[in-house]
Structure 1
């Protein structure tokens, strides 16, 4: 019995016991092979934003199928303007974000959110033209719509069709009162 507790045989037995223990641990421990993306409700953020701005807020009427809202915030823009950010993981596991503000000048805000001032085309979304912008080094596509009161930007690594899907679902919410 002594030869299994000393020298090479002792080392081999100890290693085998450890490997069997690790194998059993991995066998009985539940493991998920799916990526978990935390889902964050943005309804209160949108409502709070509506109380902070003097115009009707835009927000998705409903989230696109298979998309997970995973970030939202209100930030201060330049000139005292407020900026609303709603971020998503798309059904194709890409990133998309909807941003809006009444920051002036609108072109400066749009350029900053799109990381580009170069318009590469237009895309019809729900019957309305949106500017397409693309920044190749970041693989960032952006759809920009400048309205009289607010600038809307849908941006991210998602393809044009997915960005258009998010833009098509945007609706104006009634102005918050009280």
Structure 2
């Protein structure tokens, strides 16, 4: 019995010494507080959209200060075989500035497509078909949508031949500022012209006329 207790005490002592060593190591080792958010370059996708999209493409003229571009996805992918009938869609995501209320960044995304029906694309990107108002941004009218249970706010603009959606957990002020810096992108001289017969897609019939 004495051997057992002595062996057990030795085991406990060894464990305590090991834990103490780990604690001291963590105490003296510098801890990095720097954010590690992957930053991407979306310029190639802008160039591809300018050339391949059958509609007028929009992209940020400038990125709001402190925002980090984190994702860019174009479908169909550049170089993929197309039938000419599938929609061309581009989603560009950002991490916004740190929200002092929650102590972390929120996110925002620009989505644009010639998918039909346009209303279905807008509903899917916004996760809502309920319009809670409208807002004038740089002389254009955008719908406002809010999905409270997902903390998601969206701005929707129906254009001739395409639909623009600015959406995310960012606040209305941030989304509005982002929509304001979107610029029409020039098409290369050898790119197919956008369909001149395209007309602006109508908003869903159930949309209220309230103005935010």
Regarding TM over 0.5, the answer is: yes
Matching residue of 1:44: 44
CA contact (8 A) 1:102 1:149 kept: yes
Call closer, same or farther: CA 1:14–1:71 in 2, change over 3 Å: same
Structure 1: which 5+ residue stretches go unaligned?
Answer: none
| Greater alpha carbon shift after TM alignment, 119-128 vs 166-175 | 119-128
The unaligned stretches of length 5 or more in structure 2 are: 77-84, 100-104, 191-212
Once the two structures are superposed, the pairs formed by residues 131-146 of structure 1 within 5 Å of their partners are 131-146=143-158
Q: How many equivalent pairs are there? A: 173
Greater share of residues in helix: 1
Aligned-CA RMSD value: 2.0
Query: Which residues in structure 2 correspond to 1:14-25 (within 5 Å)?
Result: 14-25=14-25
Runs (4+) of structure 1 moved beyond 6 Å? none
Alignment of 1:32-111 (within 5 A): 32-76=32-76, 79-91=85-97, 92=99, 93-111=105-123
- The offset of 1:46, in angstroms, is 1.4
What TM-score does the superposition give when structure 2 sets the normalisation length? 0.75
Q: Deviations over 1:127-178 (max 9, x none)?
A: 3221001112212111001111321100011111111111011001101344
For 2:139 and 2:67, how far apart are their aligned partners in 1?
23
When structure 1 is superposed on structure 2, of 123-132 and 29-38 the one drifting more is 29-38
